[in-house]
Amino acid sequence: MDYANVPTAVFSTPPVGAVGLTEAEAAQRGEIDVYVSSFKPLKHTLTGRAERTMMKLVVDRASQRVLGLHMVGADAPEIVQGFAVALKCGATKRDFDATVGIHPTAAEEFVTLREKRN
């Protein structure tokens, strides 16, 4: 059993899911790029709820390997569990970018992230 990149979740409101390194941990190991998104879930468009979802990818700048994936929002534990396999397999940002997302889902945001935070 390989205990690197074990996904974790906090079953709170909103739920939290994460796998891999945090931004701070990754930055200690070398140069990184961080991709972020914050959006109102489609299901709240008609309800008027102000609830938002936050997603973050932490990527090694040189290799483009995804080092960490983090989410706060509805279904975060379920979504992160699926992406944990990708991190375990050494997925890169290019792999994420080349993946067609299921629309309309919150999970598709991870494969369409383009906003890089400085």
pLDDT at 41: 79
**Catalytic-residue membership of 44:** no
Instruction: Identify the pLDDT of residue 99.
Output: 96
Other C-beta atoms within 10 Å of 96: how many?
Answer: 21
> What does the alpha-carbon distance between residue 117 and residue 11 come to, in Å, rounded to a whole number?
27
- Residue spans per domain, the chain: 8-117
> 27: burial class by Cβ within 10 Å (0-12, 13-18, 19+)?
middle
d(CA 1, CA 12): 28
Helical spans, DSSP H, in the chain: 23-29, 76-88, 93-97
Rounded to two decimals, the pTM is 0.91
Q: Which of 83, 85, 35 is nearest to 58 (CA)?
A: 35
- pLDDT, one tens digit for every residue, the chain (118 residues): 888 899 999 999 999 999 999 999 999 999 999 999 998 877 767 777 788 999 999 999 999 999 999 999 999 999 999 999 999 999 999 999 999 999 888 999 999 999 898 6
pLDDT at 118: 65
Would you state the structure tokens that stand for residue 84, as one six-digit string? 């944990």
Report the pLDDT value the prediction gives residue 45, as an integer from 0 to 100.
73
- Which entry of 2, 62, 103, 117 is annotated as an active-site residue? 103
CATH code for the domain defined by 8-117: 3.30.390.30
